[in-house]
Structure 1
Amino acid sequence: MSEKTGSGKRKWRMEAPHPFVILFTVIIIMAIATYLIPAGEYDRTQSEDGKSYVVDGSYHQIDAKPAGILPVFEAVHKGMVQSAPIIFFIFIVGGAFNVFRESNAIEGAFGSISSKLEGKEMYLIPIVMLFFGLGGAAIGMFEESLPFILIMIPLAIMMGFDSLVGTGMVLVGVASGFTAAFMNPFTVGVAQGIAEVPIFSGMGLRVIFWLIYMVVAILYVVRYARKVRKNPESSLVYEEDKKRNIRVDLVKEHTLTGKQITTLIILVATLIGLGFGVIKFGWYITEISALFLIMALIIGLVNGKGINGTAVSFVRGCEELVVGALVVGFAYGALVILQDSSTIDTILYGITALVSQLPSGLAAIGMYIMQCLLNIVVTSGSGQAALSMPIMTPLSDLLGVSRQTSVLAFQMGDGLTNIITPTSGLLLAALAMAKISFAKWFKWVWPLILIQFILGAIFVTIAHVFVWPA
């Protein structure tokens, strides 16, 4: 892009590509790959509970179905359709939280307690991260954490941090807990069931791994938060945060009003209801969306907006998230290309073949790396378990790796890339809500992901050599 300077000369400057451009480029790359990767598939069998499992040793090549020019563009619409539940979840939660934000309840609450938190703001980070880490480890919380980002960002900024800290407290916390989970029913439970080992067995060791994982994650966020608090201009999102419509002046000038207290009570009741529904009734996106719609309506009426005013406020929240919500559909479009060309199973088969060539001492690490790579393509935890564990289980028997270790390799590999890969719907949705570019997020989080990757490799090795030898 060029622009004229005062002297009339044109000055060239780089312009960051739009997220749609980046992801459509990924779709094109995936389409090209379908001409290089043979089409193939595994046979699958249906269990009594209706789940589909891969049949080990059944991989076979089929007629190639490379993506043509039209399918590349069709993939965008198909991706939007496949990810529609997440897209509209983003819109609904974003709209609902805008109704909440416009009550200024967070600013008022922080103004009331700012004197008590003075000098103790850093304590918020471990408390919040441990809360989400426990949710990810115990009940498989992941997508359900998205609404909290809209609460933590303004709170973090008011405390002298930035939006990366606010987002990181939620996203890094829940992802770290999910990765090193000790009783996540969607990863550990499913994988152990397929591997035919007692459900949630080995919990003691997993709790130790979880604690180490969480401590490292918390220290990483705290270290960055201290840096930003000391020098705000060192923030990676300093310019972006200056443009946010967060009224920090209310912190010093305002205390909670009666309506704001009621608003906060409604919010807390909503979040308690969310946790209860997820744990007790297995709520997911549809039920949670309905819950936040109810919250938005009640908060709007309590704050005197009326039905029309609440609707207008809700729409304003949706408008802010249009690009971010549709980005999720583009990301799914890349996976559609691999699905329609029947190359996902070939990728799985190829990685499995490589792992099988490793000596027993390195086989567990090979399985861990394979799961890390597979998670880039198959971002669903239970889906990856159903796809890979029927193969990993007999493979672990052949390679001299215990089935318990193969489950650990799966769960560590499954969660690691969830907050760094652009194919993760949760990540894109979270960044859309946070209004943080993928490039800035990647720059901030990749050192932590590298540290956690090394930790995962150490955990798997310890389990393989010392705890669960075959």
Structure 2
Amino acid sequence: MKGYLIMKTTEILTENKQKNKSKKSRFKVPHVFALLFFIILIAVALTYIIPAGEFDRVEDPVTGRTLVVEGTYENVPQNPVSIIDIPGLIITGINEASAIILFLFVVGGSFRIITSTGAFDAGIRAVTTKLGNKDILIIPLLILIFAICGATVGMTIEAVGLVPLMIAFARSMKYDAITGMAIVLLGCFSGFIAGLMNPFTVGVAQQIAGLPMFSGMWLRAIIMVVLIIVSSIYIIRYAKKVKADPTKSLVYELEQKQRDNALELNPDFKLKLNHYLILLTFMSGIGLLIWGVITKHWYLEQMAALFLAMGILSGIFAGFSSSRIAEEFVEGAKSVTLGALIVGIAMAITVALREGQIIDSLINGIASIIMILPDFLKVISIYLFQNVINFFINSGSGQATVTMPIMVPLGELVGITRQTTVLSFHLGDGFTNLIYPTASTLMAYLATAGIGYDKWVRFIWPLVLIFVAIGAVFVVFAHIIQY
């Protein structure tokens, strides 16, 4: 009898376990379009719940920027967004993101032409052969290079064109697409977030706060070193795991598909003259891109034109016919269509909040909460406030013009230095750009890499938590030393 009961209990437990496993297997992460639509619905609902309001704004005669006037918040008539307006919001979002979307299509098409020539494959094979078993050392080196670009010229979206190259490089070392994209994204953002001489965040915020441009650089340099080290360790650990067991890759299906479609290079394959010309065209183009961004303040239109020229020239050097160049371009542009649309749909979230006139209300409400907190919590609260607001106002310079005029006097009331408030701003603005679906730069990278948003979140969320914690430590330290 006792044996029967034990056997029956075991059967029931096994059956329950199988049912639970079956339930888990039936759970499926929603498509990113469905996720974004759900967030848009929440944004629309908030326009009914949160009172509409706005601050007065004035133009700064020195910089020409439109700044919020602190203490001028007032309620305005409620202007809720109807659910039937959502299709219009999405179209408006796509329209407002049109420059980024166009850039993605051009980069996708141009890189398809370049990669189809085989020059990248040959060049990468030559480099990895020379690296031998030291290939893992290239990861921190590349992160450092990208971080310097992010810290000095604020390079983030500008580097999206390098994502296919870094992914090809990562795959040649038996890593995966996430490794390649992470090298570029985390590299650029390690510098951009630390903001050593970042004109778009630190530069704008210090101007508004009345501080000398790029003052307090010593602490930001330390932060940058810490972020580079942490990013390198995080990526290397993941890359080694994937290399040891490819099934551990978060994008294993994508890697299998790419491997099945990839052409095997002949072991005796050597770089030819046309490959050298194509690689020279690419490297010269990147050099011209950096020059244009730094000296001529190029942005998406100019960069798109440059990548298009690089693609066409590469096709000519490869001996492609005009039809072949056109066909490759179309195929490349098609491959980023999903991601390009995601960028526009994500923009609809901000459009809904703006149309409902509740962005200023959110800022004023959070600032009011910070004021009633104990003084020792205020510096952390200002930092966390920027992390929250970054979901709604993803532009660094745009966020600075809205929040800095409010946060600077608020901080001074409780003994927080202006420099510490600026630090809280650019750290709070930066880390969540790595995970928020409203971050257009992140979505552009994912579109170019062909990586699903859900896969990226699984990879990045532990690092974002680590980064946010690191930021909190530095903000508190800055407050203690009266930075």
- TM-score, scaled to structure 1: 0.95
For 1:279-328, what per-residue CA distance to the aligned partner results, in whole angstroms no more than 9, with x for missing partners? 11111111101111111111111111133321221111001111110111
The amino acid across from 1:294 in the alignment is: A
How much has 1:248 moved relative to structure 2?
Answer: 6.3
Say what the alpha-carbon RMSD is for the aligned residues: 1.5
Q: Give the one of 331, 345, 350 matched to 1:316.
A: 331
Question: Residue 404 of structure 2 corresponds to which residue in structure 1?
Answer: 389
| 1:388-467 matched pairs, under 5 angstroms | 388-467=403-482
Aligned residues: percent identity?
Answer: 39
Question: Residue 346 of structure 2 corresponds to which residue in structure 1?
Answer: 331
Q: Give the one of 23, 31, 39 matched to 1:26.
A: 39
Question: Residue 3 of structure 1 corresponds to which residue in structure 2?
Answer: none
Return closer, same or farther for 1:356/1:95 CA change in 2, 3 Å cut-off.
same
Question: Residue 9 of structure 1 corresponds to which residue in structure 2?
Answer: none
Return closer, same or farther for 1:251/1:389 CA change in 2, 3 Å cut-off.
farther
Rounded Cα–Cα distance in structure 1 between residues aligned with 2:432 and 2:278: 36
For 1:72-116, what per-residue CA distance to the aligned partner results, in whole angstroms no more than 9, with x for missing partners? 121010001110001111001111111101011111112223321
Question: Residue 238 of structure 1 corresponds to which residue in structure 2?
Answer: 252
Rounded Cα–Cα distance in structure 1 between residues aligned with 2:425 and 2:80: 30
Rounded Cα–Cα distance in structure 2 between residues aligned with 1:226 and 1:81: 41
Question: Residue 50 of structure 1 corresponds to which residue in structure 2?
Answer: 64
| 1:45-444 matched pairs, under 5 angstroms | 45-48=58-61, 49-244=63-258, 247=262, 249-250=264-265, 252-444=267-459
Residues 163 and 434, structure 1, Cα contact 8 Å, conserved in 2: yes
The amino acid across from 1:416 in the alignment is: F
Question: Residue 30 of structure 2 corresponds to which residue in structure 1?
Answer: 17
Residues 359 and 399, structure 1, Cα contact 8 Å, conserved in 2: no
Rounded Cα–Cα distance in structure 1 between residues aligned with 2:128 and 2:135: 9
Rounded Cα–Cα distance in structure 1 between residues aligned with 2:321 and 2:371: 64
Helix, strand or coil for the counterpart of 2:72? coil
Rounded Cα–Cα distance in structure 2 between residues aligned with 1:119 and 1:296: 33
Rounded Cα–Cα distance in structure 2 between residues aligned with 1:143 and 1:430: 8
How much has 1:253 moved relative to structure 2?
Answer: 4.8
Rounded Cα–Cα distance in structure 1 between residues aligned with 2:173 and 2:435: 26
Helix, strand or coil for the counterpart of 1:53? strand
Residues 59 and 349, structure 1, Cα contact 8 Å, conserved in 2: yes
The amino acid across from 2:154 in the alignment is: G
Residues 107 and 247, structure 1, Cα contact 8 Å, conserved in 2: no
Helix, strand or coil for the counterpart of 1:35? helix
Residues 416 and 482, structure 2, Cα contact 8 Å, conserved in 1: no
How much has 1:202 moved relative to structure 2?
Answer: 0.5
Residues 47 and 80, structure 2, Cα contact 8 Å, conserved in 1: yes
How much has 1:127 moved relative to structure 2?
Answer: 1.1
Q: Please tell me whether Structure 1 or Structure 2 has the larger radius of gyration of its CA atoms.
A: 2
The amino acid across from 1:25 in the alignment is: F
Helix, strand or coil for the counterpart of 2:58? strand
Name stretches of at least 5 consecutive residues in structure 1 with no aligned partner. Answer: 1-11
Helix, strand or coil for the counterpart of 1:119? helix
Name stretches of at least 5 consecutive residues in structure 2 with no aligned partner. Answer: 1-24
Rounded Cα–Cα distance in structure 1 between residues aligned with 2:119 and 2:371: 57
The amino acid across from 2:235 in the alignment is: V
Residues 107 and 251, structure 1, Cα contact 8 Å, conserved in 2: no
The amino acid across from 1:311 in the alignment is: A
Matched, 1:38 2:51: yes
Rounded Cα–Cα distance in structure 2 between residues aligned with 1:23 and 1:452: 25
- TM-score, scaled to structure 2: 0.92
Rounded Cα–Cα distance in structure 1 between residues aligned with 2:30 and 2:225: 39
The amino acid across from 2:412 in the alignment is: D
How much has 1:212 moved relative to structure 2?
Answer: 1.0
Rounded Cα–Cα distance in structure 2 between residues aligned with 1:455 and 1:88: 36
The amino acid across from 2:101 in the alignment is: I
